């Protein structure tokens, strides 16, 4: 029997979907407009139904986790935002394997592993993202990245079919993955860790956290490192050497503490950040001949 997508969508809207939901509080940079439709996912079946139905009706879909590396247009998202949050954040440990859903935060994941004496995720304790986004972008810090611990990734393809990718099939590289290229929904992953000292892990994570507090502008809303690391360079160093620390457009500013971060000094708009990005890219190119590529994912009004 053919699926009545309109009926399915009307039922989903009536039962689970909220409308005109502000997204700014869910994004670490604190800019961007509202979601026309918003669904807080509780299980993979619900996510699949929402995605298949929206696609059939040509409703744009945006996947949202902890919102730590996103810059959303001020007009917002005219389609459906599928949010993987606390309701989709279960974890399970079996020996040295940690399986988790995409909504769990990296900090929670890292400390959960440490609590069980499992080594491999200490680098992630201070990254303000969720597992889904970290897998999509192969997040990393302090010489560690997700590709080092991923055993497999569970995704949903464009037809709504659940698939499991090995680490090799996920094609994790610097701030990149196959899931990003294919626009697949990331549901979770199996991570292979190793046994170690709980006390040593906590000490390492405390050291990393202290380094972050010392070097990064954590007191201000931001999306983390704004640009990817150019080959042979560091983006923050190039921006600083170009004399751009403190450069502002509206409420968006190149951090005085770390030039690789753009901060929201209050009431910044996404338009402010995009103009600041353009100015920084232009001046770094003029000074050093280096093209800076955003690490922050810039989401257009039509979703992804």
pLDDT of residue 304: 43
Q: By the 8 A CB rule, do 264 and 276 touch?
A: no
Give the chain's length. Answer: 304
Determine the straight-line distance between the first and last CA of the chain, rounded to whole angstroms. 30
Q: Which of 147, 175, 177, 190 is catalytic?
A: 175
Q: Provide Rg for the chain, Cα atoms.
A: 20
CA 47 – CA 230 distance, rounded (Å): 36
- Known catalytic residue at 229: no
CA-nearest of 287, 293, 284, 276 to 239 is 284
Residue whose C-alpha is closest to residue 200's, from 111, 113, 114, 116? 114
From residue 289, alpha-carbon distances to 36, 102, 144, 245 in Å are 41, 38, 29, 19
Let me know if domain 89-200 sits in CATH 1.10.3130.10: no
Rounded Cα–Cα distance for residues 133 and 129 (Å)? 7
Q: Which of 68, 190, 225, 255 is catalytic?
A: 225
Told to judge if 175 belongs to the known catalytic residues of this protein, a careful annotator would answer yes
- Strand residue runs (E) in 66-198: 70-72, 77-83, 91-94, 97-101, 118-119, 140-141, 144-145, 150-156, 162-166, 185-192, 194-195
Domain 216-299 sits in CATH 3.90.78.10: yes
State the Cα–Cα distance between residues 281 and 291, nearest whole angstrom: 7
Domain parsing of the chain, residue ranges = 5-86, 89-200, 216-299
**Identified catalytic residue from 40, 73, 145, 295:** 295
Gap between the Cα atoms of 276 and 268, Å rounded: 11
Has 225 been annotated as catalytic? yes
Q: What is the pTM of this model?
A: 0.90
Q: 86: Cβ–Cβ under 8 A, 6 or more apart, which residues?
A: 103
Q: Which CATH architecture has domain 5-86?
A: 2-Layer Sandwich (3.30)
User: Cβ(235)–Cβ(261) under 8 Å?
Assistant: no
Rounded distance between C-alpha atoms, residue 8 and residue 48, angstroms: 12
- Tens of pLDDT, residue by residue, the chain (304 residues): 456 889 989 999 999 999 999 999 999 999 999 999 999 999 988 998 899 899 889 999 999 999 999 999 999 999 999 999 989 999 999 999 999 999 999 999 999 999 999 999 999 998 888 999 999 999 988 889 999 999 999 999 888 889 999 999 999 999 899 999 999 999 999 999 999 999 999 999 999 989 898 999 999 999 999 999 999 999 999 999 999 999 999 999 999 999 999 999 999 999 999 999 999 999 999 999 999 999 999 987 544 4
Residue of 83, 62, 60, 46 whose CA lies nearest to 160: 46
């Amino acid at each position: 029997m053919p699926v009545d997508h309109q009926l399915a969508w009307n039922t989903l809207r009536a039962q689970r979907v909220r409308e005109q939901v502000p997204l700014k509080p869910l994004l670490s940079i604190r800019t961007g407009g509202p979601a026309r439709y918003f669904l807080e996912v509780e299980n993979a079946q619900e996510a699949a139904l929402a995605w298949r139905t929206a696609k059939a009706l040509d409703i744009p879909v945006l996947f949202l986790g902890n919102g730590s590396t996103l810059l959303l247009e001020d007009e917002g998202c005219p389609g459906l935002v599928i949010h993987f949050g606390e309701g989709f954040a279960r974890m399970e440990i079996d020996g040295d394997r940690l399986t988790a859903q995409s909504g769990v935060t990296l900090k929670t994941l890292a400390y959960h592993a440490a609590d069980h004496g499992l080594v491999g995720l200490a680098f992630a304790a201070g990254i303000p993202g969720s597992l889904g986004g970290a897998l999509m972008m192969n997040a990393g810090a302090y010489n560690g990245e997700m590709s080092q611990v991923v055993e497999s990734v569970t995704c949903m393809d464009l037809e709504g079919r659940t698939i499991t990718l090995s680490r090799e099939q996920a094609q994790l590289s610097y701030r990149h993955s196959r899931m990003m290229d294919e626009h697949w929904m990331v549901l979770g992953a199996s991570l292979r860790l190793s046994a170690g000292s709980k006390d040593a892990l906590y000490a390492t994570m405390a050291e990393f956290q202290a380094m972050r507090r010392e070097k990064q502008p954590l007191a201000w809303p931001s999306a983390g490192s704004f640009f990817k690391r150019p080959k042979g360079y560091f983006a923050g160093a190039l921006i600083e050497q170009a004399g751009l620390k403190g450069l502002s457009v509206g409420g968006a500013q190149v951090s005085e503490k770390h030039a690789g971060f753009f901060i929201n000094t209050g009431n910044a708009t996404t338009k402010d950040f995009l103009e600041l990005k353009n100015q920084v890219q232009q001046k770094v190119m003029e000074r050093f001949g280096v093209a800076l590529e955003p690490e922050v994912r810039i989401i257009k009004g039509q979703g992804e």
